Amino acid sequence: MGYLTMQDGTELYYKDWGSGPAVVFSHGWPLNADAWDGQLLFLAQQGFRVIAHDRRGHGRSSQSPDNNDMNGYADDLATVIEALGISEATLVGHSTGGGEVARYIGRYGTDRVTKAVLISSVPPIMVQTPDNPDGLPLAVFDEMRATLAKDRSQFYQDLALKFYGANRSGAKVSKGVLDAFWAASMQAGLWNAYQCVAAFSETDFRDDLAAFDIPTMVIQGDDDQIVPIKNASMKTAQMVPGTQEVYYPGAPHGITATHQDQVNEDLLTFLKS
């Protein structure tokens, strides 16, 4: 564990566990690298080197006023990969992190990457546009920003319920998981979290997906209340030939926690394939 300095002086916290083939994780908004702990511990115990960083403005990383967009996030990921001497890596991204992975491949190619996994991820594009009529209206994200700015603490408590499907009848989500989501979210700078909404919702990743030339897997729950599955993983799979599709019936957005064991096994199978 330690810090790396980005090109603009921003300090990024990272954790680097285990040894073996490298797996690099990019977390969702507005969390941090700890969101991956269930996967990091499991894969490190299975003989993999696992790396995860706190995105700029999130967790223990600097709350940078600049470059809080997908290009900035991808450039940071590239710096982490290069600084730690990572090659032949599998990149794994959840939600916003899936966009980060896609933009990294779009900007830097796959010279250092052998596989990619997008979990409940935002590509190809979330917002509704003339050529993406199935997307969510911009008003949805405008309301998100307004609520975030007014009372981010309550916003994150409310978001946690949808994120993990705790608002569904019969849901079995612990108070600890919900509390951990709130605590991690409150570590994110308000400026950074606010700007990141545009990054994950309005960025068009379609050209980035066209650059994928490596084995790719998408994983998502079909009751995702944050990133609609039909306009996310299912469309990504159509755009990246040969994509392996894994869908969990009735599962929410935050499946790395609610379906930790299942995600871990699916990751391990894909990594060994």
Domains (ranges, CATH) in the chain? 2-272 (3.40.50.1820)
Q: Tell me the sheet residues that pair with 115.
A: 90
If DSSP codes are grouped into helix, strand and coil, which group holds residue 163? helix
pLDDT at 174: 97
Instruction: With beta carbons less than 8 A apart as the criterion, state whether 215 and 244 touch.
Output: yes
Annotated catalytic residues are: 95, 224, 253
> How far apart, in whole angstroms, are the C-alpha atoms of residue 59 and residue 37?
14
Sign of CA dihedral 189, 199, 219, 85: negative
| Segment 167-223, tens digit of pLDDT | 999 999 999 999 999 999 999 999 999 999 999 999 999 999 999 999 999 999 999
Quote the Cα angle for 206-216-35, to 5°.
90
Instruction: Compute the radius of gyration of the chain from its Cα atoms.
Output: 17
> How far apart, in whole angstroms, are the C-alpha atoms of residue 156 and residue 89?
33
Residue corresponding to tokens 């996030």: 73
pLDDT at 23: 98
pLDDT at 258: 98
φ/ψ of residue 105, rounded to 5: -65, -35
Structure tokens at 182: 């709130």
E strands in the chain: 2-5, 11-17, 22-26, 49-53, 89-94, 113-119, 216-221, 244-248
pLDDT at 107: 98
> Which residues contact residue 258 at a Cβ distance below 8 angstroms, ignoring those fewer than 6 apart?
164, 165, 173, 177, 251, 252
Rounded alpha-carbon distances, angstroms, from residue 252 to 39, 179, 220, 226: 17, 17, 8, 8
Kindly give the pairing relationship between strand 2-5 and strand 11-17. Answer: antiparallel
pLDDT at 121: 98
Name residues of the chain where pLDDT drops below 50: none
pLDDT at 1: 77
Closest CA to 53 of 78, 70, 19, 71: 78
